[in-house]
Amino acid sequence: MFKAFILLLAGFSLAFVLSPNSGALEKEALIEKYSNEQSKFIPVNGMQVHYRDEGAGELVLLIHGTASSLHTWDQWTQQLKTDYRVVRLDLPGFGLTGPHPQNKYEVQDDVQFIRNFLQALIMNDGQNQLHLVGNSLGGRIAWQYSLSFPEQVKSLTLMDALGYPQEQWPPAIEMAQWPVLDKIVANFSPRFMFEDGLKEVYFDDALVNSQLVDRYFQLANFPGNMAAFPKRVQAKLDTQSENIKDISVPTLIQWGARDEYFPVARAYDFKRDIKGAQLKVYTDIGHLPMEETPQQSVQDFRLFIADLMEAQ
């Protein structure tokens, strides 16, 4: 809380010399910079959804967390696309997808969005089952999806996932949940706040280089994303944990032992509540195991899937 207050004061001081949305960048320039030859856009719920679809085989859908984008799965995709069809996307309000036109950001809205995305992209290909992987907010969406459509989910992987009531939130999220301050966050979030936040997300500060900070900062300034952020984090995200025990699909839990936002105790809560769930905890890793320990986390995922196939 104190750190959030200090950051806020710094933001106010800078606000005198920076105009609102001064970090906003041109839409086409951002699309050119953060898309590539694998990038595609598909209309879903009134948005042009940015996604990438690579490889062939059983389908793996990767869902990122708050303030992130499909780029967080770059290393996982490189390792998995040789044997799997790997699909990842930018959620509404993030990345190159941009905000939801009706500001629908409750978890059930995201579940329906994923359902519509899959129907538009994948189910028409006759591939009606998938391995579902989600980090942080993406994990919250993933486990809710597995409850809503268990017949589609062959396996569920929860990576530092949101699921239980939060005692406190990361500073930027906490600020965006306060009246009045949410308006400031929607219009003004300087680059140094992104760098500071990323150094809390990663255990290894050396990974937080200028290229990474630029990506988070610039994609946050994709038209409409900054204004969507308070609406996103004011949704009821840490509710309905009593439903976790109803998850029936095979589940792997992956967790960074040094996660400052979602403590590792939550990993053991998931393991306790999901019957038969497997748990992998990574020493000296923060909130993003798929980025800080990609080889080990992918290997554990592959072994998990292989064991499922042998058991069939």
**CATH architecture type of domain 2-311:** 3-Layer(aba) Sandwich (3.40)
Instruction: Tell me the per-residue pLDDT of 71-81, one tens digit each, with 9 for 90 and over.
Output: 999 999 999 99
- What the block records as the tokens of 30 is 């951002």
Compute the average pLDDT of residues 278-289: 97
pLDDT of residue 21: 46
- Residue 263 contacts by C-beta under 8 Å, 6 or more apart in sequence? none
Beta-carbon contacts of 309 under 8 Å, excluding residues fewer than 6 positions away, are: none
Residue type, 282: Y
Sheet containing 39-44: order of strands: 39-44, 47-54, 85-89, 59-63, 130-135, 153-159, 251-256, 278-282
3-state SS assignment for residue 37? coil
Average pLDDT, the chain: 86
Confidence at 134, pLDDT banded by 50, 70, 90: very high
So what's the pLDDT on residue 268? Answer: 98
CA distance 30 to 64: 19
Structure token pair of residue 150:
């268990």
